[in-house]
Each structure stands twice: as structure tokens, then as C-alpha cells.
Amino acid sequence: MFGVTILGNNSALPAYNRHPTSQVITLSDHLFLVDCGEGTQMQMNHYKIRRSRINHIFISHLHGDHYFGLPGLLTSVGLMSRQQDLHLYGPSALKEIIDLVLNVGSTILPYNLQFHALEETSLLVNDEHFSVECFPVFHRIDCWGFLFREKRKPRKINPEATTRYSIPVDYFELLKQGEDIIIDGKTISNAELTIPNKPSKSYAYSADTLYNESMAEIVQRVDLLYHEATYLKDKLDKAVSRFHSTSEQAAMLAKKAEVKKLLIGHFSSTYETLDEFLAEAKAIFPDTQLALEGQTFMIV
Amino acid sequence: MFGVTILGNNSALPAYNRHPTSQVITLSDHLFLVDCGEGTQMQMNHYKIRRSRINHIFISHLHGDHYFGLPGLLTSVGLMSRQQDLHLYGPSALKEIIDLVLNVGSTILPYNLQFHALEETSLLVNDEHFSVECFPVFHRIDCWGFLFREKRKPRKINPEATTRYSIPVDYFELLKQGEDIIIDGKTISNAELTIPNKPSKSYAYSADTLYNESMAEIVQRVDLLYHEATYLKDKLDKAVSRFHSTSEQAAMLAKKAEVKKLLIGHFSSTYETLDEFLAEAKAIFPDTQLALEGQTFMIV
């Protein structure tokens, strides 16, 4: 499974029972937490997401609505006697904050909290099956987006064909990698012996950002793009002055980047309902959805 | 009105939809926030308590379940364009944390946050009608309780009596203060001209603490004592090792201090239901209530 579950979709001021930003990405049996606004651990309880299964946490930037739930989550999993390493990725000052908070509380975590400072576009996680990269976005303070990509999946053996050609199992790894094979001087093409696997999918989380076309290159053709939409287009001035985007701009970016689907969130507390956000984006990029809390969006 | 509204009654790990510690004291038209665990601002939304009306916040100690909601609340009221001074009382390192959090977010609050470090038993607020004092309690790190007291209320003029004796209004202030008056060389006793006002009430919040009899002197005869009850008595060892109390100990303290009523809270996340806490305390101190979230306990 590859999907994103929304825990919070609101901008800074919690309102209308919407919570500050947080998402859980499920990918290849791993759970990744992206941003951790106040109340995230309660939202995880509410939506039955096991806190103990999170091994990697990514914090986009140090505005409170993206990380004020982090100290609570880190200490809670400690109280739950976590032993396994926990990897935390964020701007370097985040470590200073966590260290201070633990220190004044005389709190010693029972697990190893491995902090990784975000400094430039780089590969953060490089697993056999997927990778996670960060990329800078355009906000009032240092801010990072995250790109989750499945790696190219091996081709699948076609057992009927390999039996017909009596291919020894020793060759199967080569076949999965797409290579042709030569048996008794005779070449058998890979396409005859294998079938393609599912295509590799990708998800981009572009955090809090001004509309900036250059981002389209980075998130080009991802299967799902999360882009903030703090305001409607009639508040473009406000969006720009606060380094945020409108719903229309989120859709423009999705269109320019030729992504498959768009998810919008980080709605301003001035809006009680969200229908207009959806309508505004869909007018430009029809395959848009609202990042509603508690919903899981599959990346397919 | 003098009352306490419970926003969170759980110990460190949020569970069973119980939240970490926070209370709002309503006293003489003021709202005071005591402790501010993660999610307090959402609980205030939920229970329709206006964040903007809080002018004084008291933080007992720097374990996260008592203050991780504070940075969010302080920045939220800033986003709501608060202008009025906000007074924050807590251990001195709290200022360091708040300063760091505001600094890394390049956040400038639009109001004056006046920080007052807790250092010894002292009078924190001295209003015409009430006072708030802090007193040290017995926890693993520096920890403070808070004592809210109404001041002695003036006696009320008995208009029927003052008319009968033809007492000039110029004397009314003296009468309210309880003094006898002399008119034409003749003493008229205060009791003939006035009636007693309602008695002055008091509330003590004793934060996270080991059972310690010496606290009984400090909270003696208060009308309502909030005392933590993290565990049941069969977990006394655990309570002691973690600098907490059992429900029985909370009741013993209430009895020793001869308080009028007892409120217990800060329940460990290991307990799904709370009935046993109540039964255990009532066996020793019958006038006990559970600090249930969303409930307001009048101090009468």
C-alpha cells in the first residue's frame, strides 16, 4: 500500500474542529509522519494509527502549526517504552528545541532519537523499495517539501513461459532486472519470459509555500501532489504577503507539473466551509481533492 | 462566580479521550488558566471558553503534559490580534523555551507577554477582590501549586436599619468595613446596621506531587482542593517512585487539611475507567469528586 492519511488540514489557528498540519504516509509497510501540529498524537489515537509504528518523522519548518505536537509525541512514545531508533528530520534549530524541552523536564528518552538536519536537496531515506528526498520551498522561514518515490519494481517471472523454455531458477534474478538471457547460444528476450510489475508511484508534499513555477520541475509527474491552499483567489494579496498560496495557484502548479492528482490543504481558519476551495482548484485542475481529516488517499 | 472548569484530567500519555492537565479558574469576572497540556486550545474551543479572555496563565512545572499546549495558545492569541498584556507565571526555564520557539519561527507577538518566574512562596496576583499565591510541592523537578483566595468581602448595609437610625451615607464605607459608629455621642453597633456578606472562598491546585503532610498547612481549610491521584493505592510504590500520589493519599491530605471538598485528577493512562479512584478517595474523604473534563466545579 502507498497512501496518505490526513490528521490535520488547517492552517495556524485550529478552528471548526480542523487541526493543524499532519499527515501519515504509508509506504511499503512503513509509516512516515510528515509534520506534527499540536494534537497530532490525539489524532493518531482517534484514527487508530499506532504511534509506535512511526520510525521516521519529517518536519517541514518551524512554524508551530507544523511541529507543536512533536515534543508530546516524542515523550509519549518514550513513556510507551519505545526501544527502536526514531529518525527525526527537520531544520537544525528543531534539535535545539527538543534538547531544551527534554533537559528542563529531566526527561531521558529510552530510545535513540536520531536527528537529521535539513540543509539542501538531498536523499533522506534510501530503502530497497523506496526513497524519500527533501527539497526547499518558498516560505517566510526555511521550509522543506518531501518527495516519496517507490523504486523501479522488478519485472515478474511468467512461470508458464519459463517452464516452456525450461529456464533454470538461477536466471530468475536477471530476468526480474529486465535482462535477456542466452541459453545454449540462443537469446531469449526478457519480454517473452516476464511480465511488467506495477508502475512505481510517487507522492510530493510541498509544505507551506508561495506559488513558484520552479517547483513544477521538482514534483513533475508525481502521482499525487499535496499543495497548500491557505486562501481563495480573492485573497491573493494576503496569500503572497504571508508566503502562502491560493487554491487556484495550487491547481496551476499541479497543471504545470503535469501531476496525476492534486490534494489541497492548510486552509485558513477564516473559512468555515471548504467547497469553494475545491471548486476553484477543479476549474483549473479537475483531479483535485480536499485533504479531509481522517481520510486516506491512495497513491495509485 | 468562583469555579474551576476541567479541560484535561489525564497524566502524561493522552488516552481514552482524556487530555493532559489544564484547568480554567473563573474568579470575579477573570479567567485564569492553570497548566496547559497539549490540545488545551482545542479543548477551550470545544468547551466555548474564549481564549482571548485569559489574561493570566500559571504553569506548575516543565513536564510536557502540563505545558506543551502553551506555545500554540500563545501564538494563536497572537494570530487573533491580541493587544492586551498576557501574564505568564512558571519556572524560569519556561521563558527560555518560549523565546526560542518564537525566535526560530521569526514570530513577533502583537501583545506584551509578561513573564514572572516562580521562585519561592509568594503572592503572584493581588487584586482588590482576590489574590493568587504559589507554593512549592514535591515532584521530581521544581513544581508549584497555586492558591486562589477571595479577599474578605465588605459587610452589606441593612437599608431598613440605616433609615431607621437616619445614618448619613458618608458613614456607609466605615459600616461596610465592620466598624461601629458614633452619632451624637451615641454608639450604634455595626451588627445593628449591616448584614454579613457571603464568606470568602478559596481554591488550591496542588499540581503533581508526592503525598506530603506539610502541604496540609498550606491548603488548610480551603473550600476546594484539587489534588492529583495518578494511581490507585495498590500502586503506591509506583506512585512514590514517580513522585506522584494515590487516590487514597489525596483523600488523606484533604482530611488532614480539613478542606471542604476534594477534586482528584491526573489519572494514569493505565486506567480506562475512574470509578475506583472515586471509591478509594471517598472511603477516607467522602466529599470527593472526579475532575471530569468539561465539568465546572463551583467553589461555594
Check A29, A35, A65, A85 and give the catalytic one: A65
Answer whether A38 sits within 8 Å of B72, measured CB to CB.
Answer: yes
Predicted pLDDT at A212: 95
Confidence grade of residue B30 (pLDDT, cut at 50, 70, 90): very high
Measured CA to CA, the distance from residue B26 to residue B32 in angstroms comes to: 6
Helix (H) or strand (E) holding B162: helix B159-164
Contact residues, chain A, for B62 at CB < 8 Å: 104-105
Answer whether B105 sits within 8 Å of A39, measured CB to CB.
Answer: no
Residues B61-85, mean pLDDT to the nearest whole number: 97
pLDDT tens digits for range B96-118? 999 999 999 999 999 999 999 99
What Å distances lie between residue A4 and A7, A56, A75, A257, A275, CA to CA?
A: 10, 15, 24, 20, 21
Answer whether B76 sits within 8 Å of A12, measured CB to CB.
Answer: yes
B43-102 residues touching A, CB cutoff 8 A: 45, 62-65, 68-69, 71-72, 75-76, 79-80, 91, 93-94, 96-97, 100-101
Under 8 Å between Cβ of B47 and B294? yes
The answer on pLDDT for B34 being more than 90 is yes
Question: Using a CB cutoff of 8 Å and minimum separation of 24, what contacts does A283-287 make?
Answer: A283/A248, A283/A251, A284/A248, A284/A251, A284/A252, A284/A255, A285/A251, A285/A252, A285/A254, A285/A255, A287/A260, A287/A261, A287/A262
Answer whether A105 sits within 8 Å of B39, measured CB to CB.
Answer: no
Amino acid code (one letter) for B281: A
Contact residues, chain B, for A98 at CB < 8 Å: none
Q: What is the ipTM of this complex?
A: 0.90
| Bridge partners of residue B122, in order along the sequence | B134
Structural domains of chain A in order of their starting residue, each with its CATH number: 2-152+205-298 (3.60.15.10), 156-195 (no CATH)
**Tally of CA atoms within 13 A in the half-sphere of A167 that contains its CB:** 27
Helix (H) or strand (E) holding B101: helix B93-104
Predicted pLDDT at B150: 96
DSSP state of A64: G
Cα torsion angle, A163, A165, A171, A172, sign: negative
The answer on pLDDT for B183 being more than 90 is no
Predicted pLDDT at A160: 95
Predicted pLDDT at A210: 97
The answer on pLDDT for B153 being more than 90 is no
Chain mean pLDDT for chain B: 96
Pairing assessment for the beta strands A194-195 and A156-157 based on DSSP bridges: antiparallel
Predicted pLDDT at B184: 86
Rounded to a whole number of angstroms, the distance between the first and last alpha carbons of chain B is 9
The SS3 of residue A34 is strand
A237 is annotated as an active-site residue: no
Confidence grade of residue B83 (pLDDT, cut at 50, 70, 90): very high
B196-225 residues touching A, CB cutoff 8 A: none
pLDDT tens digits for range B188-244? 999 999 999 988 999 999 999 999 999 999 999 999 999 999 999 999 999 999 999
**Tally of CA atoms within 13 A in the half-sphere of A300 that contains its CB:** 4
Residue A174 touches chain B, beta carbons under 8 Å: no
Mean pLDDT by 10 residues, chain A (300 residues): 97 92 96 98 96 96 98 97 97 98 97 96 94 96 97 93 93 93 91 92 97 97 98 98 97 98 97 97 98 97
